[in-house]
Amino acid sequence: MFTGIVTDIGKVVEVTGSAERRLRIRTGYEVDSIAIGSSIACSGICLTVTDIGPDWFGALASEETVSKTSISGWEAGSFVNLERALRVGDELGGHFVTGHVDGMLCLKKSLNAGSSVEMTFNIKAWARPYLAAKGSIALDGVSFTVNKVDETSFSINVIPHTQQVTTLGKLRAGAMVNVEVDMLARYLEVAYGTMNRVGFNGK
């Protein structure tokens, strides 16, 4: 479990494999504090640590993960947002994020909005039921509040701090981001859909 508050930008230093991929990611974390088998969110993707080095950790991405996320395009030199797993007692600064990516969406445009940047993303059919103004969404592992939603797009605001401490500051139109919809929205949609299918009438 994570909160969508990025605490480091890692650098991919090695990628091997194609259908499934083994990764080495350089990090500023104290690697002595990272246990083999622990979870780290890498641009929103929950990966299990398989080995560690002096300044890096290794992880294996399954075929399913590679097919659904931006890992398919990662190469040596790619930068990724990192967040370590939530511990009991940690501050809940964002929203509950599982690290289970639902899919990817494309950045349509970016516009300056004061000191912030307003980013607008295209919506695919699978994401539309889970998006609502003032709801939460995780993009490349970063927790955001949705500004506006219409039939084809939604927007967020990226404040200067977030631009500096995550990879979102370098995002350009046409880029694909990993998306995890809000957990509450997911289960509300499941429950609502189930009630419709069984003919629930509220009595």
pLDDT mean values, one per 10 residues, the chain (203 residues): 96 95 97 97 98 97 96 97 89 88 97 96 95 96 96 96 96 97 83 54 44
Angstrom distance (rounded) from CA 153 to CA 97: 22
Angstrom distance (rounded) from CA 25 to CA 51: 11
pLDDT at 88: 78
pLDDT at 196: 55
Residue ranges of domains in the chain, CATH in brackets: 8-84 (2.40.30.20), 103-193 (2.40.30.20)
- Which residues are 31's β-sheet partners? none
pLDDT at 189: 74
- Which residues are 143's β-sheet partners? 138
Structure tokens at 73: 């395009």
C-alpha to C-alpha distances, 37 to 85, 124, 177, nearest whole angstrom: 12, 34, 26
Enter the pTM of the model: 0.91
pLDDT at 28: 97
E strand segments, the chain: 8-16, 21-26, 39-42, 45-52, 56-61, 79-84, 103-113, 116-122, 136-139, 142-145, 148-149, 153-158, 176-181
Angstrom distance (rounded) from CA 137 to CA 151: 17
Angstrom distance (rounded) from CA 140 to CA 180: 8
